[in-house]
């Protein structure tokens, strides 16, 4: 079975109503990054950080997967599909994707501050005083700026086995996440879907498709599902 690796960013969830980070009016404009998504912010004002993620979690719960998420899930009928996402929403999973790796964590999970292996599903608000089984404060299971991105080696090894790479809705601005796409093997066919022009690292021969995810991705998927098994 051919492997399709789908590398997504905030743009794949934009049409589900979840704001991207860098588009005008993006999420960060409401909050300066250093205010909420850093370990320093957590030390200085944990309530602000919890409130920020509680607001985002509510938006995720109220959002629904769009045609792009669903098309990516539909590829599993014919391909070995691996989704590597920078998004912390669960829309890929809710659309039916069964193999999703979150590089920057998951907003629908909380984590112990005493033992990072202790994770707890959460769909409502996380508050000060919500403790793990060891009695320590729970935090969002999200990678903050300045923190390690532990899933990079795993993501790079998945990418190294790709026959087709589909990059959707990411400005490829943030490393080390963006560097994962460079691990695709030379023979892999590469596609990038974005309404804006994304300056892709020049040694990546990528077929750029200018368009929004909910329109461009289903068209690509339809083509790939019709392709013969051969070649």
Distance of CA 4 to CAs 69, 141, 188, Å?
14, 27, 9
State the Cα angle at 101 between 97 and 105, rounded to 5°: 120
Q: How far is CA 183 from CA 170, 171, 197, 208, in A?
A: 17, 18, 22, 18
Whose Cβ is closer to ligand APR: residue 49's or residue 132's?
49
Burial of 118 per CB tally in 10 Å (0-12, 13-18, 19+): middle
Give the shortest CB-185-to-ligand APR separation in angstroms.
Answer: 23
Mutual orientation of helices 67-74 and 213-226 as an angle, nearest 10°? Answer: 20
Q: How far is the CB of 15 from ligand APR (least distance, A)?
A: 5
Cβ proximity to ligand APR: between 21 and 42 the closer is 21
Nearest approach, Cβ of 61 to ligand APR (angstroms)?
A: 19
**Distance (Å, whole) CA 229 – CA 211:** 27
> Cβ closer to ligand APR: 108 or 212?
212
Altogether, the residues listed in the chain come to a count of 231
Of 127 and 147, nearer to ligand APR (C-beta) is 147
Q: In whole angstroms, how close is the CB of 18 to ligand APR at the nearest point?
A: 10
Q: How far is the CB of 218 from ligand APR (least distance, A)?
A: 12
Exactly one of 92, 102, 104, 141 is catalytic; which is it?
104
Please say if 104 is a catalytic residue. yes
User: Which residues here bind ligand APR, judged by CB under 6 A?
Assistant: 9-11, 14-15, 20-23, 26, 86, 104, 169-171, 173-174, 193-196, 198, 212-213
Q: Which amino acids are annotated catalytic?
A: 104
């Amino acid at each position: 079975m051919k492997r399709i690796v789908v590398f997504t960013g905030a743009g794949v969830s934009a049409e589900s109503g979840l704001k991207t980070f860098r588009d005008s009016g993006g999420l960060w404009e409401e909050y300066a990054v250093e205010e909420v998504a850093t370990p320093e912010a957590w030390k200085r004002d944990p309530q602000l950080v919890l409130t920020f993620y509680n607001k985002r979690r509510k938006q995720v719960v109220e959002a629904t997967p769009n045609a792009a998420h669903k098309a990516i899930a539909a590829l599993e009928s014919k391909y070995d599909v691996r989704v590597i996402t920078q998004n912390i929403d669960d829309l890929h999973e809710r659309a039916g994707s069964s193999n999703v790796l979150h590089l920057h964590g998951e907003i629908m999970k909380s984590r112990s501050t005493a033992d990072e292996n202790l994770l707890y599903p959460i769909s409502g608000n996380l508050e000060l005083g919500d403790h793990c089984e060891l009695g320590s404060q729970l935090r969002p299971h999200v990678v903050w700026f300045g923190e390690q991105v532990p899933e990079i080696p795993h993501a790079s090894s998945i990418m190294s086995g790709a026959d087709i790479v589909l990059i959707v809705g990411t400005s490829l601005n943030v490393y080390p996440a963006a560097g994962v796409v460079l691990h695709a093997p030379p023979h892999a066919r590469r596609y990038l879907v974005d309404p804006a022009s994304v300056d892709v690292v020049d040694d990546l021969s990528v077929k750029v498709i200018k368009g929004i995810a909910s329109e461009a991705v289903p068209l690509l998927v339809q083509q790939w599902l019709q392709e013969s098994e051969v070649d």
